Structure 1
Amino acid sequence: MDIGIAEDLTLDMIPKCYRDIAEVAGVKIFISLCEKFGGTSLYFPKSGSVTRPARDMHIRSEFDGGNYRQLACRYGLCETQVRKIVAEKD
């Protein structure tokens, strides 16, 4: 795409159905996404499924041998789930 044209594009010029993405990413990045993925269907996973490995790493590093309840409260999980995450370490 012609850089001059892309630089003149403003948020209000983007169709409403795509404006949320452009607001979050910025117009320039939105254009890059259109160039890379234009014409395809794109699925965005929930953020929790993307950040889960880092969350689990934190839980394992904070585990002291018995603080299941505290970790469950801190991370919004049930104790059973915390136990499963800690057990995966072994």
Structure 2
Amino acid sequence: MLHKDLLELARPEDFTGDLGLIVQECGLEVAVKLVDKLGGTQLNIPRSGLKATVERYVRAQYNGTNAKTLALKCGITERHVYHIVEGGAVKGDQHTFI
């Protein structure tokens, strides 16, 4: 863990490559925390990282007539919305596009 005084000196221009993208999209504080806590670790951030959240949201918001709206909000297909609300679960070896 790096010393707090050192971390407070970090500036956006100090971060290049993937970390620069993290600063741009998530903010300097997030990038500094990632370097401090997970520095040296290679990360792969799966698109399906929010799958359970999306499914919970769809189940909570579905009213029988808003499948298209939910699909657009969640970045999934209308068919997948129906699959979720009908209780179907995505199998472990299937990929979702969220």
In 2, the alpha carbon distance for the partners of 1:13 and 1:31 equals: 10
- Evaluate the alpha carbon distance shift between residue 28 and residue 59 of structure 1 in structure 2; reply closer, same or farther with a 3 A threshold: closer
Confirm or deny: 8 A CA contact 2:10 2:32 kept in the other structure: no
In 2, the alpha carbon distance for the partners of 1:57 and 1:36 equals: 30
Q: Secondary structure at the match of 1:8?
A: coil
Q: Give, in angstroms, the shift of residue 84 of structure 1.
A: 1.9
Please name the residue that 2:94 is paired with: none
| Alignment root-mean-square deviation, CA | 2.4
Structure 1 runs, 4 residues or longer, greater than 3 Å off: none
For structure 1, list consecutive stretches of 5 or more residues without a partner in the other structure: none
Which has the greater radius of gyration? 1
Give 1 or 2: higher helix fraction.
1
For structure 2, list consecutive stretches of 5 or more residues without a partner in the other structure: 89-98
The normalised TM-score by structure 1 is 0.64
Please name the residue that 1:21 is paired with: 22
Per-residue CA shift, 1:46-79, capped at 9, x if unaligned?
2xx2333333233334243xx4xx40x2114133
In 1, the alpha carbon distance for the partners of 2:25 and 2:14 equals: 15
Please name the residue that 1:78 is paired with: 78
The number of equivalent residue pairs is 80
- Evaluate the alpha carbon distance shift between residue 83 and residue 39 of structure 1 in structure 2; reply closer, same or farther with a 3 A threshold: same
- Evaluate the alpha carbon distance shift between residue 3 and residue 60 of structure 1 in structure 2; reply closer, same or farther with a 3 A threshold: closer
In 1, the alpha carbon distance for the partners of 2:3 and 2:81 equals: 52
- Evaluate the alpha carbon distance shift between residue 59 and residue 10 of structure 1 in structure 2; reply closer, same or farther with a 3 A threshold: closer
Higher relative contact order (CA 8 A, sep 6+): 2
In 2, the alpha carbon distance for the partners of 1:2 and 1:63 equals: 51
